[in-house]
Structure 1
Amino acid sequence: MENASWIRAELLVPTAQTDSHVLWNLGALGVEVQDRDTFMDDAPFAPLPDGKARLIAFFEADDDQITGLQSAIVEQLTGVEVVSIASYNDRSWETAWMRFFHPVQLSRRGIAGPPWEEMQAPEDGLVIVIEPGMAFGTGTHETTQLCSALLDDLLAARQQAPSVLDVGCGSAILSMLASGLGASRVVGVDVDATAVEVAKDNLRSNGFTAEEIALSTTPLARVEGTFDIVVANILAHILLGLRDDLLSHVAPGGDLLLSGIPHIERDKLIDAFTEPGFTLVADTRRGEWVALHLSRED
Structure 2
Amino acid sequence: MANAMHLRWRLAVPDPQEEALCAWLEARGSSAFYREADPPRACYAYFPPDQEAPDPAGLAAFPGVDLLEAEPFGDEDWLAKSREGFGAFEVGARFHVRPLWDGTPGPADRLDLVVNPGLAFGTGGHETTRLCMALLEELATAGRLGGPILDIGAGTGILSLAAHLLGGRALTAFDIDPDCGPAMEELIQLNAHLLKGAKPYESFVGTLDHPRVQGPYAGLLANILLETIQELLPRMAEVAAPGAWLVASGILAERTDEALVSLVSHGFKPVKVLKEGEWIAVLAERVAA
TM-score bracket relative to the smaller structure: 0.7 to 0.9
Q: Name the residue aligned to 1:63.
A: none
Work out whether 1:236 is the aligned partner of 2:226. Answer: yes
Q: Name the residue aligned to 2:12.
A: none
In the TM superposition, what are the counterparts of 1:15-164 in structure 2 within 5 Å? 17-18=23-24, 20-23=26-29, 57-59=47-49, 73=52, 89=74, 91-117=76-102, 118-120=104-106, 123=109, 125-158=110-143, 161-164=146-149
* Deviation at residue 156 of structure 1 after TM alignment: 1.9
* Deviation at residue 115 of structure 1 after TM alignment: 2.1
List alignment gaps of at least 5 residues for structure 2: 10-20, 59-71
Q: Can you list the C-alpha shifts for 1:212-262, whole angstroms capped at 9, x where unaligned? A: 311111311231112211010001111111111122222222101100000
Work out whether 1:7 is the aligned partner of 2:13. Answer: no
Q: 1:113 to 1:219 in 2, by over 3 A?
A: same
Q: Name the residue aligned to 1:37.
A: none
Distance in 2, Cα, partners of 1:162 & 1:121: 29
Q: 1:129 to 1:41 in 2, by over 3 A?
A: closer
Q: Can you list the C-alpha shifts for 1:94-133, whole angstroms capped at 9, x where unaligned? A: 312323112232222222221233232563x522100112
Q: Name the residue aligned to 2:200.
A: 212
Q: 1:220 to 1:96 in 2, by over 3 A?
A: same
Code of the aligned partner of 2:129: T
Distance in 1, Cα, partners of 2:259 & 2:284: 11
Q: Is the 8 A contact 2:89 2:97 kept in 1?
A: yes
Q: Name the residue aligned to 1:203.
A: 188
Distance in 2, Cα, partners of 1:160 & 1:151: 8
* Deviation at residue 277 of structure 1 after TM alignment: 4.8
Distance in 1, Cα, partners of 2:250 & 2:175: 15
Q: Is the 8 A contact 1:164 1:178 kept in 2?
A: no
Distance in 1, Cα, partners of 2:159 & 2:204: 15
Distance in 2, Cα, partners of 1:274 & 1:294: 9
Code of the aligned partner of 2:206: T
Q: 1:73 to 1:242 in 2, by over 3 A?
A: same
Q: Is the 8 A contact 1:230 1:249 kept in 2?
A: no
Counting matched residue pairs gives 260
Code of the aligned partner of 1:119: P
| Larger Rg computed on CA atoms | 1
In the TM superposition, what are the counterparts of 1:172-191 in structure 2 within 5 Å? 172-191=157-176
Q: 1:96 to 1:161 in 2, by over 3 A?
A: same
Code of the aligned partner of 2:204: S
Q: Name the residue aligned to 2:209.
A: 221
* Deviation at residue 55 of structure 1 after TM alignment: 6.3
Q: 1:264 to 1:80 in 2, by over 3 A?
A: closer
RMSD across aligned C-alpha pairs, in angstroms?
3.7
Q: Is the 8 A contact 1:261 1:291 kept in 2?
A: yes
Q: 1:100 to 1:33 in 2, by over 3 A?
A: closer
Q: Can you list the C-alpha shifts for 1:3-39, whole angstroms capped at 9, x where unaligned? A: 872134689xxx7635545536xxxxx65789xxxxx
Distance in 2, Cα, partners of 1:16 & 1:271: 29
Q: Is the 8 A contact 2:153 2:224 kept in 1?
A: yes
Distance in 2, Cα, partners of 1:292 & 1:42: 23
SS in 1 for 2:116: coil
Q: Is the 8 A contact 1:155 1:162 kept in 2?
A: no
Q: 1:176 to 1:32 in 2, by over 3 A?
A: closer
List alignment gaps of at least 5 residues for structure 1: 25-29, 35-39, 46-53, 60-68, 82-86
